[in-house]
Chain A
Amino acid sequence: MNLTQHSKYVTFKMLLRQIGSLQILLGFTMGLPLIVSLIYGEFYSALGFLTSSILCMVVGFSLYKGFQTSFEPLHRHALIIAALGWLSIAIVGSLPFIIIAYITPAEVARQYCQSGSDYVSSIYYFRNPLHAVFESMSGFTTTGLSMAVHEPSIGKGLLFYRSFTQLLGGAGFIVLSIAVLGQSNGRVALLLYGTESTGERLKPSIIETARSIWKIYLGIAFFSFIYLVIGTYLILPDYSLSENIFDSINHAMAGQSTGGFSTLDDSIAGYHSIEMDILYLLPMILGSLSLPFYFKVIHDKQINQFWKNLQTRSIFIACISGSIVLSLMLMKSGVIPEPFRIGIFQFVSALTTTGWQTSDVHIWDSASVVFIVMAAMIVGGAAGATVGGIKIIRVLLIFKGLFWHVNKYFSSENSIKVVRFNEKRLLPDEMNKELAAAATFSFIYLLFVLISALITYYFMGNNYSISDALFESASAQGTVGLSCGITNPGMSPVLEITYIIQMWTGRLEIIPVLVLFRTILFGTKPKIV
């Protein structure tokens, strides 16, 4: 065995071992929906979760124990681990959907549907493994596009599982594995941590950082839960308390992770209450703010960060101005009643990449659709949050860079034109570097959106327009989850796979997935020209 073969083998072993550890963790987390299923007496769902959990752990342990190696991941491996890890989680995470879809008898499934309704339980859509993977990927990447046409009809256990996957995916599964398992050493942990977050270090050690991120994340999710329970109770006193608590738990998880799965048939519109729309704005905005920002506010008690932090300030400004513009556009087009209610809620939902829907976007005029795509879905929330999109900080940087380039011509030749951005003073070289990184990413991102929009256009069916295609594509890429109806169980498998890839790349900011493809196609050897 020569050396290169040996090292290839070792790398492979190391990758499988890392993925194994993620699977073990996933297996454990399936315990919670199992308990929820038991509480609601959904024994078939409980059985489904139990089998999936055991399968997961068996696979995980055998990978983890079977590929013992002392080899530690290098920089490029970290990206591959992230890409492969997320893919494997989405695939394995689809097991409960498939198993439950096959084992639940028809009469039990009928009980999940609302009494008097004439549709078949949506649970059977998941007998198609592609739909199950789609749902799972949409959950873990906090997108919120769904194959379950009538959400409540899949049972409380699965509903909880869907929201729970969003919570797990939001702050990052790898960060969670660092926080919980803590087996990687500092350098490896830092590499892995950087692949799915901003890489900002909050505490001296990465494990501590990962833990505080999860603490803050869960803390705010819990706050959202309390807020929603009380709010719902005050607004809709006749709503059953147990339903209220179940909805609030799920919506708090989906809101904090900016996922956007709902337990209601018509998302938030299902409450038929303008007050509820307003109530749900806060969890979305809370989810779109960066976790390091919360750390500074909560841990370091820097309350002034609310207006000093560039991203936070920009999100507030963007939410206010964007929703006003969208509302005015909708009002002018006159296609929907209550343009302000819809405009504000949908803009915030799109900018924070949550994806709770209160309106049928399909009937909107094209101008409004394009506006929400450009100004909200593609931009996204704060870097370091659970959002998708290009991220507001990159957009600001690119605009700053544009002005900087123009202003440069007014300075003398030898001037060192410094840029002040986000409390930092950047030298021309540094600015160029930052600008190149941001612009490259944004360009690739837009490319993905456009290519997918074209694919959508070919496979979407006749009653949709090109702006609808753009909307759906941007929604999947930005892990938003708003839909104009193209996403449904009857969609073309090509399109479904496209969206799965888009959600996957959207969550990981594209580059890790490209690295993975490169590894598969050309290996890990550096290219020398």
Chain B
Amino acid sequence: MKIIIAGDGEVGFYLAKLLVYEFQDITLIDTQQDKLDFADKNLGITTILGDSTSFKILKQAGIESANLLIAVTSVESTNITTCIIGKKLGAEFTIARIDNMEYLVDKNSLDLRDLGIDILISPESLATREVRYILKSPALIEIFSLYDRALYLMGLLLEEDAPIVNKTILETANQIPHNSFMIVAVHRNGSTLIPTGNLQLKKDDLIYFVSTDEGKNHVVEYAGKKSVQIKNILVVGGSRTGKNIALKLSRYYNIKLIDKDIEKCNYLAKTIPNVQIVCGDGTNIKVLEEEGLGNFDAIVSVTGNSETNIFTCLIAKEFGVRKAIAMVENIGLFDYSQKMGIDTLINKKMAAANFIFRYIIKGRVLTHLYGVDAKIQEFVINRNSKITQKPINELKFPEGAIISGVVRNGTGYITLGSFKLMPDDKVFVFSLPQSSSNVNSFFK
């Protein structure tokens, strides 16, 4: 599969990195030589120096035979132009990163797909969506939907006082309401375990569940978390992400937004209804105290600076804010900040890259969890496959992998014990890297 990525920015580079592991034929276009050199050295992919809106450059990248063109430069208009030109020059499928939400929402005026752009992605709105999901179920660390909300993948940190601590999964099986969720991976001390019935759950385990829509609340109950209702949110930083969060979430929550820049504050105050804008430094404790930091249920720190976000979230935790979400663009800080006690980290470029990733190919990695070695893959069962004849617990499924749910005719099912697969089912599989080839041959 031939993929052209225009824009070697953070999203572009991260995407290239993910795709390289999948052995794709990747060409990267950018206007800065040093960035390209870095990508070349680290990833060993083809790079082309030049403007992606140029015919010559696109042809040089092999646009005629490209299966996919992804335009993720920081300039929206460049991305749109690149995709429109690329499509006409022969690219099969195009994806453009945009900033203007209008293009996503208002399809009556002009649907950009008519111009040849197949998918529009906006990192800001993806980040907002993640924040919205998390705030809806604040007990969770991560949650996203698989296959258009048929199933959900959720991550949750086990605390000492949870009733299931120090019990094996089998022992707790009676607490799982019939087939509403299942444990698919446990992350413990930096390594990932695929659960078997005898696995004992310990405190500080990061447990991943797959659940149906109804099962979401059962998961929270099962893990002994009280479901808290979030009402007041403090958003720190009025960047594009902050603005988008305030704009989208003000319907559901009372939001206060802090930014340092008075000009930006005035602009936001004028454009966003029902949100209290405050002009002040989000890292200044005096300012935060004045705003009544302790009264907030959640803090979402989305300034352009990862360190500031982490710091502000840590202060908020000290003040008793229950849920702290920080935007961290620097992936190197990911591990440490979570250890320090920040509940959830969001990362625009990972969100965008994952989003694109899910569109790329069937039977490949569906999503990528940071820090977790396991992959989620999707397989479609063949019509004449033998595995449809027995229930799951009688199949010889490879070790280090688990069937983690099925989508049949758009409805999600949890695959425990006696579940029987059927032809055309979409099967999700959580697997460790070493088992992945066995899994692939199992479904052949």
Contacts and interface: CB of A to CB of B under 8 A. Distances in A.
A468 B325 CA distance: 68
A425 B279 contact: no
Contacts of B290: 412-414
A414 B266 contact: no
A418 interface: yes
Contacts of B277: 415-416, 418
Contact of A412 (B266, B269, B271, B292): B292
Interface string B389-430: 000000000000000000000000000000000000000000
B273 interface: yes
B269 A425 contact: yes
A414 B273 CA distance: 18
B116 interface: no
Nearest to A425: B270
Contact of A425 (B265, B273, B287, B291): B273
Given A425-B269, A427-B266, A427-B270, A414 B276 contact: no
Interface size class on chain A is: 10 to 19
Contacts of A411: 276
B242 interface: no
B282 to A, nearest CB: 11
Interface in B250-286: 265-266, 269-271, 273, 276-280
Interface in B232-253: none
A412 B279 CA distance: 10
B207 to A, nearest CB: 40
A412 to B, nearest CB: 5
A416 B269 CA distance: 7
B278 A416 contact: yes
Contacts of B291: 412, 414
Contacts, number: 33
A418 B257 CA distance: 13
Interface in A391-433: 411-416, 418, 420, 425, 427
A411 B291 CA distance: 9
A414 B269 contact: no
Contacts of A425: 269-271, 273
Nearest to B265: A416
A414 B287 contact: yes
Nearest to B257: A416
A231 to B, nearest CB: 45
Contacts of A414: 278-280, 287, 290-291
A418 B269 CA distance: 7
A414 B234 CA distance: 14
A427 to B, nearest CB: 5
Contacts of B269: 416, 418, 425, 427
A9 to B, nearest CB: 47
Contacts of A413: 290
A22 to B, nearest CB: 41
Interface of B: 265-266, 269-271, 273, 276-280, 287, 290-292
Counting from the closest, the 4 A-B pairs by CB-CB distance are A414-B280, A416-B269, A416-B277, A418-B269
13 contacts: A411-B276, A412-B278, A414-B280, A414-B287, A415-B276, A415-B278, A416-B265, A416-B269, A416-B277, A416-B279, A418-B269, A425-B271, A427-B269
Given A416-B276, A425-B269, 20 more contacts: A411-B276, A412-B291, A413-B290, A414-B278, A414-B279, A414-B287, A414-B290, A415-B277, A415-B278, A416-B266, A416-B269, A416-B277, A416-B279, A418-B269, A418-B270, A418-B277, A425-B270, A427-B266, A427-B269, A427-B270
